Structure 1
Amino acid sequence: MSFELLRDDLAGGPAEYLTPAVRPSLVEAQQWCKTLATTHYENFHVATWFLPKRVRPYFQSIYAFSRVADDLGDEVADPVLAANLLTTWQGMLDECYDEPARSRHPVFVALQQTIAETGVPRQLFSDLIHAFQMDQTVTRYESLEQLIGYSRYSANPVGRLVLWVSGYRDEERGLLSDKVCTALQLVNFWQDVVEDWERGRRYLPADAMQRFGVTDEHIAGRVFTPGFKQMMVFLTDYARTMLLEGGAISGTVDRELTVTLDLFRKGGEAAIDGIVAQGYDVLRARPSVSKTTKMQLLGGALVGKLGGLFSSDKPEARP
């Protein structure tokens, strides 16, 4: 879907994200978000298929917000310009909450319905923008604790947004979700060591590197040592334990949401298995999940979806 574009608000960012000159209708905005979600990240599209149809537009607007913000930070070479664009995006978010009639960007037109119908807090979206702002200035992490602090902004708000629009607002579930989301973020870092390094970033924590005798030179030269393997065993075990602990959330939500949460969690476990299967050598090639494993995950999710249609076992959402 194309709009006549206004060349100011997000100038300098990806052209497809520029603000339209004319405010789109809600239907047009929702279609824009749906297209972005289904063309940029297949796994998100598949996972949301297992959700109740009524809440899918909420998830698509949330994804679109996050996708644009991520690209404003990652796809703009100049960190100063990227930071300014993210500041603009925050201003557009504030306008969406404070003066919704002024919003013209399809993301915020679509997001207004999500906000109006679910009451989702502004801070969760602002936290995501904060994480992308951090990416412009922080390119090395000294400890696992620091990485977990980053995930508090970069990953955990996504899980809490999912819970919120699904009707679950209590802190107990929120903390379990945080563990799953943080673990998924860490696993992604462990998979992308070389790619991140080539982009000038290192998410392997310095304290773990020092503990196992790993240096930046090992990453730069793709030198896989026994110490590097021991470090990866430690880091992947750490993430797997978090996934296991956070996975308890699946027993506390309705069956349809459980299917989606389990799909993401099991995807994280499969990614860890991919690292293990590669002998923990993430320097040689990016570990991936095989097509067979993906089909097994989807098959299990489909069975869960069908089972949920005939089940009345739905834990009550607590405000």
Structure 2
Amino acid sequence: MPVDHYENFPVASLLLPRRLRQPVEAIYRFARAADDIADEGDAPAAARLQALAAYGDELDRIERGVPPVMPQFSALAAVIGEWRLPLQLLRDLLDAFAQDVVKKRYADYPELLDYCRRSANPVGRLLLHLVGRTGDDNLRRSDCICSALQLVNFWQDIALDWQKERVYLPQCDLARFAIAEEQIAAACWSEQWAALLEFQITRTRQLLLAGAPLVHALPGRMAWEIRLTVQGGLRILERIGSVRGDVFTQRPVLAAGDWLRIGSRCLRM
């Protein structure tokens, strides 16, 4: 489970029951393709927003029972119909990706979490709809896990996001720890930077652990999938912490040796 983009979430792995793999793949393909519109290539902002709006038009057609124009939406339309998935969750993803095109800074943590609410949480909620576990506590815990995984990705990718002119570290936190954006541009580690990242790691770990009890409400193999996801996210945070936040010299990722540790921890959840 590499923690990168929507790989932060279970993507039709062998742990998933066979009947869920096709709908999860359809959700993933939609999210991945829409995210790539916002992030990849060199298209101008207006063209990216227009392409995302076209995706929204396809969701509107699906809602009206009209066949999609884009062939790649046919499988998604079938999944939405069969599993009665809420279209608003898919619209929330498009809204977040469109925001990424035009918004490059976040004033504070609540503003960042509002972005996560639309960019990450819908995926977890869609998975809960697939397994019929949409009680309030389950939704809340899923949101905690998904938002935390999105934050893990942000802290991994500070250097990469800077190349896209994005800074997801809240502006108020940069000011609190006396970090100027020029330090990010220069890939310059300092004790203040280490303290800033340790603050983010602690907060993100707490959020991830707050969602972890969700695994006890999920059926068999899905529960194990989420166990691996949670423990993978926690391990990435440990790796960021082990280099004291120096994500400039090497992007912290899971290595082959991490899996035994992750598997052992899953058994104790």
Give the TM-score, by structure 2 length. 0.91
Shift of 1:257: 1.3
Shift of 1:265: 0.8
Distance 2:174 2:129 in 1: 37
Are residue 179 (structure 1) and residue 144 (structure 2) matched? yes
Distance 1:46 1:167 in 2: 18
Report the count of equivalent residues. Answer: 263
Distance 1:107 1:44 in 2: 21
Cα 1:163–1:187 shift into 2, 3 Å: same
Conserved? CA contact 1:159–1:177, under 8 Å: yes
Structure 1, 47-56 or 87-96: larger mean CA deviation: 47-56
Are residue 50 (structure 1) and residue 23 (structure 2) matched? no
Cα 1:41–1:163 shift into 2, 3 Å: closer
Cα 1:88–1:55 shift into 2, 3 Å: same
Shift of 1:47: 5.6
Conserved? CA contact 1:61–1:107, under 8 Å: no
Q: 1:288 aligns with which of 249, 253, 258?
A: 253
Cα 1:159–1:123 shift into 2, 3 Å: same
Alignment RMSD (CA, Å) = 2.1
Q: Which residue of 1 aligns with 2:60?
A: 94
Equivalent residues in 2 for 1:1-319 (5 A)? Answer: 48-77=13-42, 78-100=44-66, 102-294=67-259, 296-297=261-262
Aligned to 1:49, the other structure's residue is in SS state coil
Give the TM-score, by structure 1 length. 0.77
Higher RCO by CA contacts (8 Å cutoff, separation 6 or greater): 2
Distance 2:260 2:12 in 1: 13
Cα 1:92–1:295 shift into 2, 3 Å: farther
Shift of 1:148: 0.4
Shift of 1:104: 4.5
Deviations 1:165-207 (A, max 9, x none): 1112222211110000010011110011111001111111111
Rg comparison, structure with higher value: 1
Distance 1:221 1:44 in 2: 31
Distance 2:6 2:168 in 1: 22
Structure 1, 210-219 or 278-287: larger mean CA deviation: 278-287
Letter of the 1:199 counterpart = K
Deviations 1:47-81 (A, max 9, x none): 62111111111101000110111111112421110
Deviations 1:121-167 (A, max 9, x none): 11000000000010111001111111101001000001001111111
Conserved? CA contact 1:48–1:59, under 8 Å: no
Letter of the 1:139 counterpart = K
Distance 1:234 1:243 in 2: 14
Which consecutive residues of structure 1, in runs of 5 or more, have no partner in the other structure?
1-39, 305-319
Distance 1:206 1:41 in 2: 25
Conserved? CA contact 2:240–2:252, under 8 Å: yes
Deviations 1:197-245 (A, max 9, x none): 0111111111111111111011111111111111111100000000111
Task: Give the percent of matched residue pairs that are identical in Structure 1 and Structure 2.
Answer: 34
